[in-house]
Amino acid sequence: MSAIAPKFKLSEFIKSLLDNIFWIVLLVSLIGIPAIQVILFYIEMPVINGELLTPFLAMTWLADPSRSLPILKAFMATDMFRVMAFPGFGFAALIAAGTIFVERKMLAKLQLRVGPFYCGKIEGILQLMGDGLKLISKEIIIPAKADKPIFWAAPVIFVATAAAFVALIPVAPGWVVADVDLGLLGVFAVIGFFPIITILSAWSANSKFPFIGGIRALFQMVSFEIPLILSLLGVVILTGTLNLSEIAASQSSFPWIIFLPVGAIVFFITMLAELERIPFDLPEAESEIVAGWLTEFSGMMYGLVQLGTYLKLYAFAGLFVVLFLGGWNGPMVVPPFPEEILTDGIVMGPITAKFPGLPLFDQQMLNGTLWFVLKTVGVIFFILLPRGVFPRIRIDMLLSLGWTKLIGLAFVNIFIALGLLYAGVLGPGGLQ
């Protein structure tokens, strides 16, 4: 009898394993396989060996590796994949999770601590997962006098809005969820949603500290939206387009930050304020108003808001990269896909494995993604850094900063852009 599990019996352990296997098989066959079938109905299937793949055939051919790759590739071409996985939600959530981990470890090193350490053996890498599980298992407490429908909806809408923002960010040439011509206007529209959600949730909680926090968030976001929009106009003037993919593509030779450093600085500061990061975390100022507009959220509702916050963080960092740092542009560092795998397959002794359908991603896209991620991580690093260095500022200081200095600087930036345009340095006939 071990001390850890005093009632351990091998027979019961085996029985529990068998039980688990039974339930897994049952659930997969009753729910999983039909779900895959349903998904396959909506995917435009490839033609393999001269035969159009139908969902009925797909199930039989899934086991064949030579035929599973084309199906995967077909799936990757769908909008669903883009929304859920690669340039969309899944990719952003992955970067957000990495951001949280890096933030905690970096802050810990800055403050002479170790940070998360035990969970997951290696430097506490699974700490975030543990925190997520904890949040999921927590009871959700709703204030008695809250406006319940709005209160419930607020975190969901928050995440949805953050995800909509993520959808507008191009990651690699052609790899963007929503490639709209007025992409930048779309960004402004989506950013405009956040204060509304914040004030709605704060109002619906029917509690004093959330209310003060919500009012503060409203002040802060509305007053910083103006310098934010103005600081981006310089880029729009120089590129002549609002499409984010085109703006990124226009910086193939040099990023705009070289010509518009003032705009980049203004945008970075307003970004910190929109993200409610220290030193602008007034809406969540813990020593003054407990947790601001998040005070009454508990359990996974709070977790959703945090997820939305970090998605927003990624999206803003991505926007900064697209607008000022050249997006996906960068020297080609990814090696070309080895041709012999395509022609000869992989020879492993007597077995030769051929993979029709390779490569999954072309070299251009991989290289673009790599550069985009590198730059985004760099920007995120600079967004995280002030947290270890600065105290929180006060709401009146914040508002005077936003309404006077930043707006002024944003106009200076616009004049710089116009000057460059009319002097013929940039634009038609200029460098580009």
Partner 1 sequence: MTMTDIMPPGLALKKVDERIMTLNVGPQHPGSGHMRIVVQIDGDYIVACDPDPGYVHRGEEKMAEYRNYITNVPHLERPVIHDSCNVLYPYVLGAEEILGIEVPERAKYVRVICSELNRCIYTMYWLAIYGIFLGHSTMFMWPAGDRELLIDLMEKVSGARVTHAHFIPGGVRNDLPANFEDVCLRQVNYFEKRIKEYAAVFYDNPILISRTQDTGILSRENAIRYGTTGSVLRASGVDYDLRVKAPYDVYDELDVHTNVMKEGDSYARSKVPWLDMIESCNIIRQALQKMPKSGSVRTKLKPNPKTKGPATVYKRVESGRGSLGCYIVSDGKTEPYRVKMSVPSFRNLLAMPNLLIGEKLGNMPSVYWSLNYWPVEADR
**Nearest approach, Cβ of 402 to partner 1 (angstroms)?**
15
**Nearest approach, Cβ of 214 to partner 1 (angstroms)?**
13
Q: How far apart are CA 68 and CA 63, in angstroms?
A: 7
CA distances to 160, 279, 413 from 409, in Å: 32, 20, 6
- Span from 87-95, 246-254, 319-327, 392-400 in contact with partner 1 (CB under 8 A): 392-400
- Which residue in the set 142, 393, 412, 425 belongs to the binding site for partner 1 (CB under 8 A)? 393
Chain centroid to Cα 405, Å, comes to 30
Q: How far apart are CA 431 and CA 424, in angstroms?
A: 8
- Which residue in the set 139, 339, 340, 396 belongs to the binding site for partner 1 (CB under 8 A)? 396
**Nearest approach, Cβ of 211 to partner 1 (angstroms)?**
8
**Nearest approach, Cβ of 313 to partner 1 (angstroms)?**
18
- Span from 182-190, 234-242, 248-256, 391-399 in contact with partner 1 (CB under 8 A): 391-399
Residue 32 or 386: the one with the smaller Cβ distance to partner 1 is 386
Position 112 contacts partner 1 (CB under 8 A): yes
Under 8 Å between Cβ of 329 and 356 = no
- Which residue in the set 144, 340, 389, 429 belongs to the binding site for partner 1 (CB under 8 A)? 389
Position 73 contacts partner 1 (CB under 8 A): no
Residue 131 or 246: the one with the smaller Cβ distance to partner 1 is 131
Position 288 contacts partner 1 (CB under 8 A): yes
**Nearest approach, Cβ of 22 to partner 1 (angstroms)?**
48
Half-sphere exposure of 217 (CA within 13 A, CB side): 31
Residue 15 or 394: the one with the smaller Cβ distance to partner 1 is 394
- DSSP lists the bridge partners of residue 48 as 51
Half-sphere exposure of 57 (CA within 13 A, CB side): 12
Position 281 contacts partner 1 (CB under 8 A): yes
- Which residue in the set 381, 387, 421, 425 belongs to the binding site for partner 1 (CB under 8 A)? 387
Residue 168 or 296: the one with the smaller Cβ distance to partner 1 is 296
- Which residue in the set 8, 13, 23, 390 belongs to the binding site for partner 1 (CB under 8 A)? 390
- Span from 35-43, 260-268, 395-403, 410-418 in contact with partner 1 (CB under 8 A): 395-403
Residue 115 or 359: the one with the smaller Cβ distance to partner 1 is 115
Q: How far apart are CA 16 and CA 366, in angstroms?
A: 44
Q: Residues interacting with partner 1, by CB under 8 A?
A: 107, 110-113, 208-209, 212, 278-279, 281-282, 285-290, 387-397
